[in-house]
Amino acid sequence: MTIENNNAVKCRGVSKVFSEGELAVHALSDIDIDISAGEFVCLSGASGSGKTTLLNMIGGLDVATSGEITVTGKRLDKMSMSELADLRLHHIGFVFQAYNLIPVLSARENVEFVMQLQGVAADQRQQRAMEILEQVGLTGLENRRPAELSGGQQQRVAVARAIVSKPALILADEPTANLDSANSDKLMTLMRELNASIGTTFIISTHDEGVMKFAKRLVRLHDGRIVEDELVEEK
Amino acid sequence: MSTGTQLSWRVIFRLAWRNLWRNHRRSLIMLSAIALGVWGMIWMTALMRGMVDQMIDNSIKTLSGHIQIHAPGYLDDPSIEHLIPPVDTSPALQELLHSSDVVVWSQRIRVPAVIRSEREVYAVTLVGIDPEKEQGLSFIGESITDGDYISSVNDNRLLVGRKLLERLETKLNRRVVLMSQDPGNNIAERGFRIGGVFDTDPQATETSYVFGGLETVRKMLNMGSGVSEISLLGHDYRKLDALKNKAQSAAMENADVKTWAEQDPYMGTMLNVMDGFILIWFTIIFLALSFGLVNTLLMAVFERTREIGLVQALGMKSSNILLMVLVESIIMLIIGLVAGNILTWLTILPVQDGIDISGVAEGLEWAGMSSTLLPALQIKDVVLANTVVLVLGILASLFPAWRASRKVPIEAITRVWQ
């Protein structure tokens, strides 16, 4: 993959205003941020601070009211819905807070799903899915459907699916929100290991201090503005 | 940017199939509705076609044949004054009647008459027939239930309907007197022994006609060689235009050549509007069905809003989402159609020899109905019913599928994230 100026993500003057009738809510105001390839960034802040909105816009799921967002060198505001779908398919992995998996597919099929969209051959797909599931510690559970997995296991399947096609960027929105602290630590450790081993950029939104301790870079938002952006010392 | 890859049919089918069975009860209700809808379409059509076919068949067999040739004016005044030359005097007619276009034919004398027993008198139509040629052409050759069928054109016996026999308060082998007019407008009468009794549908036919040998009737009426009508059967009662034109050319000038539908406009109209009826019937059933189908799919799409947002976030294109919902609908339609066709077959099988409707048939005799209704299952109706459900079902599914594909990812996902 090609990343201009080593930037995985570049935001310039990004604002987002939600309008409900005459009421305008400024979810994000004039955000400027550069995130380099291979970084492990935590977006923190209280509920309503704009973390999720920023992630949505970086992922091309939502459109900024003003400003420019560039992901892997592509200006999102210049792309069509179809091109955005392609960008997400080939360059971005998502881990959501809940309801991450397709309920009618098994763990392995969920992991394979993105590769199927990418047109990867069946034998290659299955092999890679099994490898990734092993990597996230789910060997033996590959044929279970989401309803037969615990919340932590489901999140690990989601992470496996996010990383299986080696995207440039993984966006995780409160991935540990529904997990206990032990499972939360396991998941974050896993993501850090993957970040270290395959060099994928991670941007994780959280308001959990336990998650923030895994960050290499911590960006704090408050009322839609970045109020703090610091590199965290490696532990 | 690489071009988005289309999801393989196998994956779309797998997703659609599994999604279909997520809500077993709802899917089974919808499948039952489709199956019953198709069953209703085909079954009712088979009954309607059977009814109309039977009415037309009765009409054709009653005496009309597919085509009849008369002298001009006969149909307005069916008397001995309006005769046509017999077939053996017309080489052109002989050639046509012996060609492969004509399956069977006969010529008849047919005049109004009065029949008298020792107790009762009734007005009837006296028909002089060639008994051999009537076999396969009209009902009379196959409907004798008591006594014998007349053996030749010179047979002196009379064939009388069961109902008329009862009304005349007479019996087989007893004598009756027939009275009519000869060509000189003089009374022509003759005594006949009742040689055979016929039973037929509709029962009105049993009281309307009596049959004698052609030459015997000719002698009774003191007439020359003319006949009242020539009746013939072609190969298909729906396609008679060409045969009618040939008959018109071969018959005497000004001959009145008419198809069964022209002689009986009510029946002709029934046949012509039958396909229209069927289409309307199919549309009504389908409309009822489509509300259920669209509602089921919309519910399924609504329930899956979060997932649709998820797969969009993962990079699935709108076209694939549309396809996924459509395939789900097609699978449901196909299973429903198969079940409906099997149900039709299973329910038609036990009644293929006919359904006894004698309880109501008497009241419907005026329309030419019989006491046994034979369902007429036609392949084209089965194909049409299945095509209507499948094609219109897919069209009806386009709306929910389109709704699913047009979901904005963030709006779909927000339902989860908030």
pLDDT in tens, B173-201: 999 999 999 988 899 999 999 999 999 87
pLDDT at residue B177, rounded to an integer: 95
Collapsed DSSP state (helix, strand, coil) of residue A139: coil
Dist. CA B281–CA B416, nearest whole Å? 45
Q: List pLDDT tens digits, range B113-131.
A: 999 999 999 999 999 999 9
Contacts of A98 in chain B (CB under 8 A): 416
Interface contact B313-A102, CB threshold 8 A = no
pLDDT over 80 at B416, yes or no: no
Contacts of B1 in chain A (CB under 8 A): 74, 79, 83, 86-87, 90
Q: Are A16 and A62 in contact (CB under 8 A)?
A: yes
Lookup: tokens for B399:
């709306």
In chain B, % of residues over pLDDT 90: 37
pLDDT over 70 at B365, yes or no: no
pLDDT at residue B396, rounded to an integer: 85
pLDDT at residue A10, rounded to an integer: 94
The residues with which B160 forms a beta bridge, in sequence order, are B197, B210
Q: Are B140 and B213 in contact (CB under 8 A)?
A: no
Average of per-residue pLDDT values in chain B: 86
pLDDT at residue B2, rounded to an integer: 39
ipTM of the complex: 0.85
pLDDT at residue A233, rounded to an integer: 67
pLDDT over 90 at B66, yes or no: yes
pLDDT at residue A71, rounded to an integer: 94
Under the banding of pLDDT at 50, 70 and 90, the label for residue B4 is very low
Gap from A74 CA to chain B (nearest CA, Å): 9
Gap from A89 CA to chain B (nearest CA, Å): 4
Distance of CA A197 to the CA centre of its chain: 17
Collapsed DSSP state (helix, strand, coil) of residue B201: coil
Closest Cβ–Cβ partner in A87, A99, A103 for B416:
A99
pLDDT at residue A232, rounded to an integer: 84
Contacts of A82 in chain B (CB under 8 A): 4, 317-318
pLDDT over 80 at B155, yes or no: yes
The residue behind tokens 């239930």 is B145
pLDDT at residue B292, rounded to an integer: 82
Distances (CA, A) of A134 to A95, A156, B39: 18, 11, 52
**Which of A49-53, B76-80, B233-237, B364-368 shows the lowest per-residue confidence on average (mean pLDDT)?**
B364-368
pLDDT at residue A218, rounded to an integer: 94
pLDDT over 70 at B3, yes or no: no
pLDDT at residue B370, rounded to an integer: 64
Closest CA to B174 of B119, B110, B126, B109: B119
Gap from B1 CA to chain A (nearest CA, Å): 7
Nearest CA in chain B to A76: B1
Looking at residue B64, the DSSP 8-state letter turns out to be I
Contact residues of B toward A, CB < 8 A:
1-5, 7-8, 11, 15, 18-19, 22, 306-307, 310-318, 320, 409-410, 413, 416-417
Nearest CA in chain A to B406: A81
Q: What angle do CA B123, B125, B126 make, to 5 degrees?
A: 115
pLDDT at residue B406, rounded to an integer: 80
Best B3, B8, B9, B413 member to test A by mutation, with max A CBs in 10 Å, is B413
Interface contact A97-B4, CB threshold 8 A = no
The number of beta carbons lying within 10 Å of the beta carbon of residue A96 is 25
pLDDT over 50 at B417, yes or no: no
Interface contact A116-B317, CB threshold 8 A = no
Closest Cβ–Cβ partner in A62, A90, A114 for B410:
A62
Interface contact B417-A88, CB threshold 8 A = no
Gap from A235 CA to chain B (nearest CA, Å): 31
The verdict on pTM exceeding 0.80 is no
Q: List pLDDT tens digits, range B397-411.
A: 888 888 888 877 777
pLDDT at residue B122, rounded to an integer: 94
Dist. CA B226–CA B109, nearest whole Å? 8
Q: List pLDDT tens digits, range A25-71.
A: 889 999 999 999 999 999 999 988 999 999 999 999 888 999 999 99
Closest Cβ–Cβ partner in A56, A117, A173 for B5:
A117
pLDDT at residue B362, rounded to an integer: 61
Closest CA to A104 of B50, B331, B13: B13
Interface contact B417-A103, CB threshold 8 A = no
Interface contact B18-A83, CB threshold 8 A = no
Gap from B330 CA to chain A (nearest CA, Å): 19
Burial class of residue A19 (count of CB atoms within 10 Å of its CB; 0-12, 13-18, 19+):
exposed
Could you state, in chain order, the average pLDDT of each consecutive group of 10 residues for chain A (235 residues)? 63 91 87 94 92 92 92 91 90 84 92 90 91 87 93 88 89 84 84 87 91 92 93 70
